[in-house]
Structure 1
Amino acid sequence: MKVNIGLLWHSLSSDNLGVGALTESQIAIVLAACKRAGVTQPSFTVFGTSGTRAIAPVSVPVEKGDRLSWKRLAVGQTRYWAQLRACDLVLDIGEGDSFTDIYGLERFWLQAGTKAMALISGKTLVLSPQTIGPFERSWTRAIARGLMRRAKRVYARDQLSTAFLADMQVSGNTAEAIDVAFRLPFTRHDFGASTKQRVGINVSGLLYNGGYSRDNQFGLTVDYRRLTEELVAHFVQRGGGQECEVHLVGHVLSDVIGVEDDHAASLALAEMFPGVVVAPKFATPSEAKSYIAGLDYFTGARMHACIAAFSSGVPVTPLGYSRKFTGLFNTLGYQQVADCKKLSTEAVRDLVIQGYEQREVLRPQVQRGCEAASVRLQAYEDFLVDCLQQQQKQKKQQVGHQ
């Protein structure tokens, strides 16, 4: 039986490997569900923002949906309607945290409009595990509430989003899972034998440059540039320079938007600290996770780089600057998160160093968190099995009526 799954607000070409990680992981979960549901010919149509990267290869047919823009949708210069009608099921992951109005009204309208079009087309719409909200305006809140109430299921990826849904009076069709990137496939990188501890530091180019406005756009209480420089200096010099090997790992790799580029920020730091290892510009999210999995300890401000570490068993101290960090990791019972919008530069630096020193204490906590994530994503997969079986039943009924 053929089933075409629309992946709304996913991307296999994004410069942000986090969005790619969501997409690759979602495909892996859906394929597992298809196998259990008896779907023998699954295919995917991916709708979302495009980046400069080549489409990552996957083992099943994948069509790139038409570019989504509010202007193109408004004037009808898009194939989105037609491509949407060819889908049997639509899974909308909202790029992880984009179903909100805090990123501007244009993005909100695009997020809301594409969901509304899926519903108007009569498609089964599932909001896959993601951060929900916030919605700071009463009218955006009302629109979001109406759309979510009409979805077949709305999955929060953390306890804070679940509480937010309850506050929005969206109930009856909600559930809580976890970020799908915990299912991202990887092969642990073998760096070879070494007496040194390999410490990975993900430097967010966006935070390193002060945000798009370059003036601490995100309201951090830490001096992020000083923090990263002090952390690199500490681990480079630790044990007289004999204890650690520092790896600077980028997770947003953009040749077009320099302010976002983690790799450029890493190269700038490498000039200040000769001898550090700058990770390559990874071709795929799985390649990045495989590299991170081979490290002994990790810290960073890109959430999916931290998830790559956590989900591969590497002790990690995430550097959070929004509720998605604390919401997700605390949901798994992991408290080793540094809040960069509350703590001082010195406090965050000390917490990261403490995490390294207590990495063997953190390791079993990471393991327990991964086990909890596995249970949550299995429940999400079970739900998709039911959806796919219903789709096949409907198709058979339609054939029987012809």
Structure 2
Amino acid sequence: MSDERKLNVLVLWADTRAANFGLRVLSHGNAGLIKDAFSSDATVDFQDFGPGDSDTSFGTKSIIRNIFRRSGPITEKIRKYDLIVDTGAGDSFADIYGLKRLFFIAYAHQVIKKNNIPLVLAPQTIGPFNTKIGRFFARRSLKIARLVTVRDTASAEYVQTLGRSADATATDVVFALPSEHVARAKTYDILFNVSGLLWFSDDHGNSSRYRTETIEAITRLTKSGRRVDLLPHVIASKSGNDDVDASKELTELLTDSGVNGVDTLIASDLTEMRSFMSAAEVVIGARMHACLNALSVGTPAIPWAYSRKFAPLLGDLGWRYVIDLSTSTAPAAETVSMIDSLTANPEADLIDSIRAKAVSSLGDYSRKLSAVVNWKSDVSN
């Protein structure tokens, strides 16, 4: 190999231009950690299920074109890289989003194995797999990976039940992003992220109850003198029914019930999204990365948790302000109570300690990542 050649790395299930800002977090956070691991001696590309930043997709049509050929589109793409880092799209290495998505992930892993390219599972939630075929795919993929990294202890314990020990536990890569955590005037009071995933569908909980509790929480807060603005974290989704659509419907319902003056902030990019959050007193959200983005820039956040991915990760960090939508009998009332508590004690010291703990855990992961490919040794041969 030439000394000038850089390590070529592909980050799976991430997109710097994604409608979902969580995928943008996964892109930039993982890219930073990869460059840290290899002293910036790496080029990093991104591949989502659809094309996104890539020149192809890893979806159904590409799999059909690839599966019976020696060199189909997915194989050709994979062969360009020295290392593959799989983000699991944060929490998609599970069967809660359906077996089709899990199959896409598992098929990519098989192509990677066939071409003898190192596969790393970056910090992510793993499981649950509630189907036999889901557990089959999971076990096979875990055997393929050279490094398995989970972002919470519950995932570490779950991986153990599948016959593989996690090699590392590190928190979410959002804490690897540059922080806008600076002393600044708080332009916003409460930013409320309304999730289109929960607003329009019952796939992850009772949507009618979610809408009712969201309206009640904002009504209570505005009546108590707090200012609430909406902050979509998934925007301009091609499939529709994103957080902007949910925010629009919510605003209309609030107006009909006499609650006026609730604006919607739409970020143009990830930097602006994080800037909005750093200028807020509190962020409330059902998108987990909306809440993690907030905590990573020093702003208290109250997640409305709809799946197993929330509580273990936040609990490991030491953040206790979490509403579990599956068990809470009064999410709106609990949220108002938590905001009152945070107003009395903003928890700045706790958030600072969480950030330090998170950065340390990601540093440990980055060092283990650097050992997967001995790149300096490779380029000298």
Which of residues 171, 185, 192 is equivalent to 1:201? Answer: 192
Shift of 1:189: 9.0
The alignment status of 1:351 with 2:355, answered yes or no, reads no
Shift of 1:311: 1.1
Letter in 2 for 1:204: S
Partner in structure 1 of residue 131 of structure 2:
137
The alignment status of 1:300 with 2:285, answered yes or no, reads yes
The alignment status of 1:394 with 2:378, answered yes or no, reads yes
Shift of 1:343: 1.1
The alignment status of 1:90 with 2:84, answered yes or no, reads yes
Shift of 1:65: 4.6
Deviations 1:271-320 (A, max 9, x none): 4232123112x232232112111101111100000001111111111100
Give the 3 Å change call, closer, same or farther, for CA 188–374 of structure 1 in structure 2: closer
TM-score (norm 2): 0.89
After TM superposition, the structure 1 = structure 2 runs for residues 246-325 of structure 1, keeping only pairs within 5 Å, are 246-259=228-241, 261-271=242-252, 272=255, 273-280=259-266, 282-325=267-310
Q: Is the 8 A contact 1:186 1:290 kept in 2?
A: no
Q: Is the 8 A contact 1:9 1:92 kept in 2?
A: yes
Partner in structure 2 of residue 235 of structure 1:
221
Partner in structure 1 of residue 14 of structure 2:
10
Partner in structure 2 of residue 400 of structure 1:
none
* Cα-Cα RMSD: 2.3
Identity across the alignment (%): 28
Give the 3 Å change call, closer, same or farther, for CA 287–396 of structure 1 in structure 2: same
Give the 3 Å change call, closer, same or farther, for CA 176–120 of structure 1 in structure 2: same
Residue correspondences, number: 366
Letter in 2 for 1:143: F
Q: Is the 8 A contact 2:83 2:118 kept in 1?
A: yes
Q: Is the 8 A contact 1:45 1:65 kept in 2?
A: no
Give the 3 Å change call, closer, same or farther, for CA 178–387 of structure 1 in structure 2: same
Partner in structure 2 of residue 48 of structure 1:
48
SS in 1 for 2:84: strand
Deviations 1:116-157 (A, max 9, x none): 111111111100011111112234313321221231110011
SS in 1 for 2:359: helix
Shift of 1:270: 3.0
Give the 3 Å change call, closer, same or farther, for CA 294–361 of structure 1 in structure 2: closer
For 1:114 and 1:29, locate their aligned partners in 2 and report how far apart those are by CA, in whole Å: 22
SS in 2 for 1:201: strand
TM-score (norm 1): 0.85
Give the 3 Å change call, closer, same or farther, for CA 66–193 of structure 1 in structure 2: closer
Shift of 1:89: 0.8
Shift of 1:29: 1.7
Give the 3 Å change call, closer, same or farther, for CA 332–190 of structure 1 in structure 2: closer
Q: Is the 8 A contact 1:70 1:109 kept in 2?
A: no
Deviations 1:298-350 (A, max 9, x none): 11100000001111111111100100011210111222110001112x2x112
Deviations 1:202-250 (A, max 9, x none): 11122122x1xxxx33234981111111111122221xx4xx2212100
Partner in structure 1 of residue 59 of structure 2:
69
Structure 1 unaligned spans of 5+: 56-63, 398-402
Letter in 1 for 2:56: D
For 1:266 and 1:167, locate their aligned partners in 2 and report how far apart those are by CA, in whole Å: 40
Q: Is the 8 A contact 2:189 2:281 kept in 1?
A: yes
Give the 3 Å change call, closer, same or farther, for CA 154–114 of structure 1 in structure 2: same
Letter in 1 for 2:198: L
Shift of 1:190: 9.3
Partner in structure 2 of residue 372 of structure 1:
357
Runs of 4+ in 1 over 4 A off after TM superposition: 188-194
Q: Is the 8 A contact 2:198 2:205 kept in 1?
A: no
Letter in 1 for 2:91: D
For 1:149 and 1:27, locate their aligned partners in 2 and report how far apart those are by CA, in whole Å: 24
SS in 2 for 1:155: strand
The alignment status of 1:110 with 2:104, answered yes or no, reads yes
Which of residues 30, 42, 52 is equivalent to 1:26? Answer: 30
Structure 2 unaligned spans of 5+: none
Q: Is the 8 A contact 1:9 1:94 kept in 2?
A: yes
For 2:350 and 2:209, locate their aligned partners in 1 and report how far apart those are by CA, in whole Å: 29
Deviations 1:10-60 (A, max 9, x none): 11222111111111111122222232xx72xx21221113488xx5xxxxx
Shift of 1:71: 3.5
For 1:65 and 1:3, locate their aligned partners in 2 and report how far apart those are by CA, in whole Å: 20
